[in-house]
Amino acid sequence: MKKGKEWIKGLWKEHPVFRMLLGMCPTLAVTTSVINAIFMGVAVIFVLFFSSLIVSLIRKLVPPQVRIAVYTVIIASFVTIVDIYFKANFPQMSKALGPYVPLIIVNCIILGRCEAFASKNRLIPSLIDALSIGIGFFWGLVVLGAIREILGTGRVLGIKILSASYYNPMVVMILPAGAFLVLGGLVAIMNKLEGR
Amino acid sequence: MKELFQIFISTVLIHNFVLSYFLGLCPFLGVSGKEKSALGMGLAVIFVMTLSSSVSWLIYHFILVKLGLVFLAYVVFILVIASLVQIVEMFVRRYSPALFKALGIYLPLITTNCAILGCVLFMIARDYHFWAAVVFGFSGGVGFLLVLLIMAGIREELNYADVPWVFKGASISLITAGLLALTFMGFSGLLTS
């Protein structure tokens, strides 16, 4: 039961993007299209999962004074792995995401989970927590990317949704300003649903 | 000289770190409630950003490239930034306890401020020479301070506005930022490339 609650927390109740507003820079920067959002989401899940794993395993060995530095180096190593993997296998995507893949290092979600959860809990709960937050982040990115891509270009993943005959694409939605506006609207909808 | 000036204008106004690269949004949404703390935060970022941009340039070109250790770049950059932030923190605590109190948690947070690491990464990706890297770091900080101050002013006014409850808090800040980004798009004609 308790574990079940840990799961749901990251997926909805404490959603990293819409409720906690963490990890804003990749959220807004790469969600110009769904495919970018998927790649970024997968990268974050990978880094979050493996950093939580390591942090949880070594939590008794790290002196508290240097823990942030240690966590950052662990995260940076996994981000380097992802970055090199993307560069080798998906050069197109690597170019599209640009410096936002290495910027996962300073994503507050990952350091926040390592510091707040994985450093204090045993291995299995830490991994469940990492997965739930990661998947929550993933669907947040995909929703944001889908809205922006549909409104901005009328198509999603190359499939036409809104025909040009009756819909004039709002280019502003795939520009930076649109990212702020869409996310602001989604946060408001989330507030309404939660009835805070 | 002309090139450096172009980098300055383009980084401060046209490709502003906050409004067009979304770098440094956490402090932007968190600290910008008061003009005074916005000013302190902005100045700290200018300082750290200029330093980390130039120090990282030197380390990257004279150590990592020479020794073929480019794959270590991210780990090295984040360590350089973390140590610089530590130095600035000690400096502020020693010379301005009031400012230190006002900034509170946000000073150590500069370490995880994406703007600093983002600046270093963009600087490497664009292959700037040394002085361009210094100017790029400085103007990135100036742009950050500028937007932070504008936002703080708007937020102070927003306190008296009648905002529907669903939009209160983060939501209205994001929409304000969106409108600000739209306004800054007007600068994009300043430079013809």
In a domain, A1, yes or no: no
Express each pLDDT in A89-139 by its tens digit: 999 888 888 888 888 888 878 888 888 888 888 888 888 888 888 998 999
CA angle B120-A77-A65, nearest 5°? 85
B14 lies within 8 A of chain A by CB = no
Question: In the prediction, which pLDDT does A165 show?
Answer: 74
Q: Which residue in this structure is represented by tokens 């240690």?
A: A70
Residues 6+ apart with CB under 8 A from B188: B14
Contacts of A178 (CB under 8 A, 6+ apart): A148, A151, A152, A170, A172, B178
In a domain, A7, yes or no: no
- The answer to whether residue A145 sits within a structural domain is yes
What's the CA gap between B161 and A108, in Å, rounded?
Answer: 31
Token match 């804003």: residue?
A24
Q: What is the pLDDT of residue A5?
A: 67
- Which token pair is B140? 């990135």
Please state whether A64 falls in left (phi above 0), alpha (psi between -120 and 50) or beta. alpha
- Which residue is it, tokens 């080798």? A88
Extract the tokens encoding A146: 């889908």
Cα angle B113-B118-B120, degrees, rounded to a multiple of 5: 115
Could you tell me the CA-to-CA distances from B123 to A68, B26, B58, B77, B106 in Å, in that order?
Answer: 25, 22, 12, 12, 24
Residues with Cβ within 8 Å of A18's Cβ and at least 6 positions away in sequence, in order, are A140, A186, A187, A190
Three-class secondary structure of residue A155 per DSSP? strand
Cβ–Cβ gap B121/A73 under 8 Å = no
Please report, as a single letter, which amino acid is at residue A169: P
Q: Which of A15, A17, A19, A21 to mutate to test the interface with B (most CBs of B within 10 A)?
A: A21
List, in sequence order, every residue forming a beta bridge with A159; answer none if it has no partner: A156
Q: In whole angstroms, what is the distance from residue B13 CA to residue A131 CA?
A: 39
- Is-contact B145 B49, C-beta < 8 A? no
With b for 16 or more beta-carbon neighbours within 10 A and e for fewer, the B52-87 pattern comes to bbbbbbebbeeebeeeeeeebbbbbbbbbbbebbee
**Single-letter amino acid, residue B22:** F
Instruction: Compute the distance between CA of residue B113 and CA of residue B82 in angstroms, rounded to an integer.
Output: 10
If you ran DSSP here, which 8-state letter would residue A20 be given? S
Please tell me the predicted confidence (pLDDT) of residue A196: 55
Q: Taking CB atoms and an 8 Å cutoff, what residues of chain B touch A107?
A: 114
Distance, in angstroms, between B119 CA and closest chain A CA?
10
B78 touches chain A (CB under 8 A): yes
The most confident of A63-72, A74-83, B36-45, by mean pLDDT: A74-83
CB contact under 8 A, A103 and B79: no
Give contacts of A192 with chain B, Cβ < 8 Å: 166
Picking from A113, A117, A91, the residue whose alpha carbon sits closest to that of residue A44 is: A113
Contact across the interface for A99 and B122, Cβ inside 8 Å:
yes
Instruction: Say what the pTM is.
Output: 0.86
* Confidence check: pLDDT of A82 > 90: yes
Is position A106 within any domain? Answer: yes
Interface of B with A in 18-47 (CB under 8 A): 19-26, 29
Residues of B in contact with A98 (CB under 8 A): 125
Q: Where are the domains of chain B?
A: 24-187
| CA atoms in the 13 A half-sphere facing the CB of B117 | 28
Residue A85 structure tokens: 């993997």
Q: Is the pLDDT of residue A51 over 90?
A: yes
- The range of the structural domain enclosing residue A37 comes to 16-194
How far, in Å, CA of B84 to CA of B106, rounded? 15
Q: What SS3 class is residue B97? A: helix
Mutation for B interface: A22, A101, A180, A194, most B CBs within 10 A:
A180
Question: For A159, which DSSP code?
Answer: E
What is the pLDDT tens value at each position of chain B, 193 positions in all?
888 888 898 888 888 888 888 888 877 776 666 777 778 778 878 888 898 999 999 999 999 888 888 888 888 888 888 888 888 778 878 887 877 776 655 666 676 678 888 899 889 888 889 999 999 999 999 999 999 889 888 888 888 888 888 888 788 888 998 999 999 888 888 877 5
